[in-house]
C-alpha cells in the first residue's frame, strides 16, 4: 500500500534549499538514486514546470505517494482570487528511486482525465442543469440546460431554456470536432462556427477569432460550487471586444462551463447550481424540439 505525505514549502524556503550544500550533493551523482522524500522533492524542484511557481514566491504544496520503485508527486498551489477558493495543480511527477530520474507523468497513468484534450471538457449527454445566469442587458435569474446527442455529425448539443413564464424558448448550441479543436454553432446559424477550445491545451495557450480572444490560465484546478467540488477544471480568460466583456471561465470535465466571473467587476455571471442525469429520450426530445435546423440537416 502506498504511503502519502503532505509537504508545504514556501517560495523563499525553496530558494534557501536550492542554495544549500546538501542540495548540490543530491545532484552530484544522480545515478546513485534517491533514498528519501526530501531527495525526491529536490529533483522535482529542478523541473521547469515547478521552478516557474517558485520564482513567483508562491507557497507550493506537494502530495507524495511512496510507491515500491518510485515517488509519485502532485505539486499544487492554493489560489485566492475573490471567487470560490480552489487549488491549481502544477502537475503530476515521478522520481525513480533507483536512478533518481525525475519526469512528468500523464494524468491517464494515475487514472485521471486527459486534461490537454478539449473533449474532456464537453458536457456529457443526458444531463439537466440548473444555473444562475446574468446577461449583458442586466436580466438575470435561474435557467435550465439540457444536453443530448442528437446527430452523428455533432459531439453533443446543449439547449438553454430562456425567457419568462409562458414566453420561454430554447436556445441550442451544437458542438463539432475540427482539425485544430472543438467548435460550436447555434442552431439558428449552423454555418457560423466559433472556436470553443483548441487541441493540446496548455497553460498560457491563446487563440483569437473575429476580434475576440481566449487564454488558458490554469489546468487541473478545483472549483467548489457548494453543492459539489469539481476537480481538474480548465480556467480560461476570454475577452469579447464587441461588447467589451472580460470573463474568467471554469470548465469541468464532463460538465462544460460551471462558473463564469466578470473580471472587471468580480461579479458571478454564470454558476451551476445543480445537475442531474435524465433519460436519453427526455434529453433528446427537448434538444430536438429546439433544434429545427439541425433536425432538417440530419
Residue 222 has a CB neighbour count (10 Å cut-off) of 20
In contact, 29 and 100? CB cutoff 8 Å: no
User: Does 22 share its domain with 89?
Assistant: yes
The reported pLDDT for the residue numbered 72 is 85
User: Does 90 share its domain with 138?
Assistant: no
Mean residue pLDDT of the chain comes to 81
pLDDT digits (tens, 9 = 90+) for 101-120: 887 775 544 456 788 899 99
The reported pLDDT for the residue numbered 11 is 39
Q: Which of 59, 85, 110 is the last residue of a domain?
A: 110
User: Does 282 share its domain with 185?
Assistant: yes
User: Does 147 share its domain with 201?
Assistant: yes
Please choose, from the candidates 191, 170, 193, 171, the residue with its C-alpha nearest in 3D space to the C-alpha of residue 183.
193
Q: Which of 84, 110, 136 is the last residue of a domain?
A: 110
User: Does 156 share its domain with 257?
Assistant: yes
User: Does 95 share its domain with 157?
Assistant: no
> Based on C-alpha coordinates, what's the Rg of the chain?
22
Q: Let me know how many helices (H) and strands (E) the chain has, helices first.
A: 6, 17
User: Does 266 share its domain with 185?
Assistant: yes
pLDDT digits (tens, 9 = 90+) for 239-259: 988 778 899 999 999 999 999
Distance CA 272, CA 29 (A): 52
Number of compact structural domains in the chain: 2
C-alpha cell of 257? 462551463
The reported pLDDT for the residue numbered 123 is 95
User: Does 145 share its domain with 263?
Assistant: yes
C-alpha cell of 258? 460551471
The reported pLDDT for the residue numbered 145 is 94
User: Does 203 share its domain with 278?
Assistant: yes
The reported pLDDT for the residue numbered 24 is 31
User: Does 272 share its domain with 222?
Assistant: yes
Residue 200's domain comprises 118-297
Exposure pattern of 167-183 as b/e (b: 16+ CB <10 Å)? eeebbbbbbbeeeebbb
Distance CA 148, CA 159 (A): 9
Residue 269: pLDDT above 60?
yes
User: Does 106 share its domain with 123?
Assistant: no
The residues near 130 (Cβ < 8 Å, ≥ 6 apart) are: 142, 143, 144, 272, 273, 274, 275
Residue 121 has a CB neighbour count (10 Å cut-off) of 25
pLDDT digits (tens, 9 = 90+) for 51-108: 776 666 677 888 888 888 888 888 887 776 666 566 777 778 888 888 888 877 755 4
Q: What is the CATH number of the domain that holds 291?
A: 2.40.360
Q: What is the pTM of this model?
A: 0.65
C-alpha cell of 237? 480568460
User: Does 103 share its domain with 122?
Assistant: no
In contact, 161 and 169? CB cutoff 8 Å: yes
Please choose, from the candidates 268, 281, 273, the residue with its C-alpha nearest in 3D space to the C-alpha of residue 255.
273
Q: Which of 110, 127, 158 is the last residue of a domain?
A: 110
Q: Percentage of the chain surpassing pLDDT 70? A: 78
Amino acid at each position: 500500500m502506498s504511503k502519502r505525505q503532505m509537504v508545504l514549502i514556501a517560495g523563499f524556503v525553496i530558494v534557501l534549499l536550492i542554495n544549500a550544500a546538501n542540495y548540490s550533493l543530491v545532484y552530484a551523482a544522480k545515478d546513485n538514486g534517491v533514498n528519501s522524500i526530501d531527495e525526491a522533492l529536490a529533483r522535482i524542484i529542478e523541473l521547469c514546470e515547478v521552478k516557474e511557481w517558485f520564482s513567483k514566491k508562491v507557497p507550493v504544496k506537494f502530495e507524495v505517494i511512496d510507491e515500491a520503485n518510485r515517488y509519485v508527486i502532485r505539486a499544487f498551489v492554493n489560489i485566492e482570487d475573490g471567487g470560490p477558493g480552489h487549488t491549481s495543480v502544477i502537475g503530476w511527477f515521478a522520481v525513480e528511486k533507483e536512478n533518481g530520474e525525475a519526469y512528468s507523468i500523464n494524468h491517464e497513468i494515475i487514472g485521471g482525465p486527459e486534461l490537454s484534450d478539449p473533449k474532456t471538457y464537453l458536457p456529457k449527454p443526458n444531463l439537466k442543469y440548473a444555473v444562475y445566469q446574468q446577461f449583458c442587458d442586466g436580466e438575470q435569474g435561474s435557467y435550465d440546460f439540457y444536453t443530448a446527442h442528437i446527430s452523428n455529425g455533432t459531439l453533443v448539443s446543449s439547449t438553454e431554456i430562456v425567457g419568462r413564464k409562458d414566453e420561454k424558448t430554447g436556445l441550442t448550441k451544437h458542438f463539432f470536432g475540427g482539425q485544430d479543436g472543438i467548435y460550436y454553432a447555434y442552431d439558428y446559424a449552423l454555418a457560423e462556427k466559433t472556436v470553443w477550445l483548441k487541441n493540446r491545451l496548455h497553460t498560457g495557450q491563446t487563440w483569437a477569432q473575429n476580434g475576440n480572444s481566449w487564454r488558458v490560465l490554469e489546468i487541473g484546478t478545483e472549483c467548489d460550487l457548494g453543492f459539489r467540488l469539481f476537480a481538474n477544471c480548465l480556467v480560461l480568460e476570454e475577452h469579447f471586444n464587441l461588447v467589451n466583456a472580460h470573463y474568467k471561465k471554469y470548465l469541468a470535465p464532463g460538465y462544460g462551463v460551471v462558473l463564469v466571473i466578470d473580471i472587471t467587476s468580480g461579479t458571478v455571471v454564470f454558476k451551476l447550481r445543480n445537475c442531474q442525469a435524465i433519460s436519453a429520450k427526455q434529453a433528446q426530445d427537448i434538444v430536438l424540439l429546439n433544434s429545427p435546423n439541425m433536425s432538417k440537416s440530419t
